[in-house]
Amino acid sequence: MTDPLALIRAAHFAATLLASGTVFFAALAIGSTRLPRNFSTLRTHMNVLVWTGLVLSVLTGAIWIIWLAASIFGESLAEVCLNGGAWSVLADTRFGWICCLRLLLAVLLGLLVLDPAQRAWPTAVAAAFLALPAFASHAGATPGPRGDVHVISDVVHLLSAGGWLGGLPAFVWLLWTARRRQKPSWYDFTITVTRRFSWNAAISVGALLATGIVNSWNLLGGPRDLWTTDYGRLVGFKVVLLVAMIAIATVNKFHLTPRLPARAALRNLKRNSLAEIGIGLCVLVLVGYLGRLQPTAHVHPATTPIPPDAAFTHIHAPEAMADVTIDPGRAGRSTVTIRVSREDFTTFAAKDVRLGLDPPAAPGKSLDLNAKQQPDGTWTVDDIALAEPGVWTVRVIVIAQSGETIVLDAPIVIDR
């Protein structure tokens, strides 16, 4: 629970939901409702929520890029900023391209909300800003038609979260304002908006449940994973928190909303909505950690038969994948075969590949060797000496044709 990148992801998604969800709330819940006097103040406050979310999403997105680059290149945060590693991730990966596009959308959305007459364009831009991360997630890494369905499901999942959880801060602000104003026009306005938001939330909950089932089908190997794997247990905990949020939302819709504009109903509705926001933030933390774990269903078969006495590992990163086979997989002299591919299993066009092997013992001597490309596209290192058995660390350093450096590392077990 101390993975900084998982917390950065959680903060980024929270900021994104805040910005997009506030725009959705203004367009769908408020819409063309007759506005009370002095509504301009609330509109300004809602714009501040949007701008705050956009600024935080850009900042956390930049930190995400830098931290990811440091992890890929094995360098410090300062080094990847000064030596161009972060720029390589931004310019040479799908994740980086999506970040650049979302930066442009953030600037555009921040300008569009300045015009209160605009509703369609801010809503469309907010939806695109919120949905694009699906194309760089586990869903975007799933090949074929199944991957297309998974991406669509993830997009709907994100938009539904924005329509419900992302709109809650603006809704709480509305309740707080109405309680302060204590004017009939504000009470009537609040009742109308609350009913609309309640129906929007109900639709969003249904979509979240449906797409959650689709996503779990794609990411989990089976129901047993929910209690036998770390990834599955986090998914199960996320479901429990979601059920708690739905229970609170049900009380809000069927018990408190009909009692508006009573002051007690306003107070309890605001309190329950704040509780929903708190639980929702916990859900986002889990989402941050889930993005750092490999789904139990995300297992790639070896592209070639593995000899019975060989050691094998599959290394997966957003930029490339590598299958590493050490034959024989035991202490002594061995040959290493490396196949580098993309997400769709096509061959990755590499200019150069190097192999690093770190022995189990700390004082042991690490190996750093050049691999030789074969006619079938694989890379090999012949006659290496593995001094001892145990859990070694294998590193594949891939130099792309563009000059980008990709570092893939994973443990591999060497027998006696």
Q: What 3-state class would DSSP assign to 75?
A: coil
Task: Give the pLDDT band (50/70/90) at residue 352.
Answer: very high
The topology (CATH level 3) of 311-414 is: Immunoglobulin-like (2.60.40)
Per-domain boundaries in the chain: 4-290, 311-414
pLDDT of residue 180: 84
Question: What tens digit of pLDDT does each residue of 47-62 get?
Answer: 999 999 999 999 999 9
Task: Judge contact between 318 and 348, C-beta under 8 A.
Answer: no
- The mean pLDDT of 89-100, rounded to a whole number, is 82
Residues 6+ apart with CB under 8 A from 395: 355, 356, 357, 358, 407, 408, 409
Per-residue pLDDT reduced to its tens digit, 273-307: 999 999 999 999 999 888 877 776 655 555 667 88
Nearest residue to 163 (alpha-carbon basis) of 342, 17, 7: 17
- Please name which of 71, 21, 49 lies closest in space to residue 409, comparing C-alpha atoms: 71
Taking residues 93-116, report their average pLDDT.
Answer: 92
Question: What pTM, to 2 d.p., does this model score?
Answer: 0.74
376 vs 50, higher pLDDT: 50
- Provide the 10 A C-beta neighbour count for residue 152: 15
- pLDDT of 343 reads 66
On whether the CB atoms of residues 260 and 190 are closer than 8 A, the answer is yes
| Percent of the chain predicted with pLDDT > 70 | 92
% residues pLDDT > 90 (the chain): 48
Among 373, 392, 391, CA closest to 381: 373
> What pLDDT is stored for residue 193 in this prediction?
94
Q: Is the predicted pLDDT of residue 139 greater than 60, yes or no?
A: no
Instruction: Specify the higher pLDDT residue, 340 or 226.
Output: 340
* Residue 215 or residue 29, greater confidence: 29
CA 36 vs. chain centroid, Å, equals: 39
Is residue 407 very low, low, confident or very high in pLDDT (cuts 50, 70, 90)? confident
* pLDDT value at residue 298: 59
**In this predicted structure, what is the pLDDT of residue 21?**
96
The tokens for 208 are 């979240």
- 3/59: higher pLDDT: 59
Task: Give the SS3 label for residue 404.
Answer: coil
Asked whether 321 and 314 are in contact (CB, 8 A), the reply is: yes
Q: Distance between CA atoms of 364 and 357, rounded to whole angstroms?
A: 10
- pLDDT computed for residue 240 by the predictor: 94
- Determine which of 62-76, 126-140, 374-388 has the lowest per-residue pLDDT on average: 62-76
Whole-angstrom Cα distance, residue 288 to residue 308? 38
Q: Residue 176 corresponds to which tokens in the numbers above? A: 């707080």
**pLDDT at residue 196 greater than cutoff 90:** yes
Over residues 390-416, the mean pLDDT reads 85
Helix (H, G, I), strand (E, B) or coil at 347: strand
Q: List the one residue out of 415, 407, 388 whose CA is nearest residue 88.
A: 407
Quick one: which of 189, 187, 221, 250 has its CA closest to 33? 189
Token reading at 188: 């009537």
CA 289 to chain centre: 9
Provide the β-strand partners of residue 386: 332
Q: Worst-scoring range by mean pLDDT, 61-65, 129-133, 134-138, 159-163?
A: 134-138
> Residue 200 above 80 pLDDT?
yes
Of 132-146, 164-178, 341-355, where does the model show the most confidence?
164-178
Q: Is the pLDDT of residue 135 over 90?
A: no
Give ∠ CA 284-178-241 in degrees, rounded to 5.
20
Comparing 270 with 317, the larger pLDDT belongs to 270
Is residue 218 within 8 Å of residue 212, measured between CB atoms? no
Predicted confidence at residue 110, as pLDDT, reads 96
Q: Look up residue 349 and give its two tokens.
A: 């066009």
Tell me: pLDDT of 232 over 70: yes
Q: Is the pLDDT of residue 1 over 60?
A: no
Mean pLDDT of the chain: 87
Q: What is the reported pLDDT for 17?
A: 97
69-86 tens-digit pLDDT? 777 666 778 887 887 778
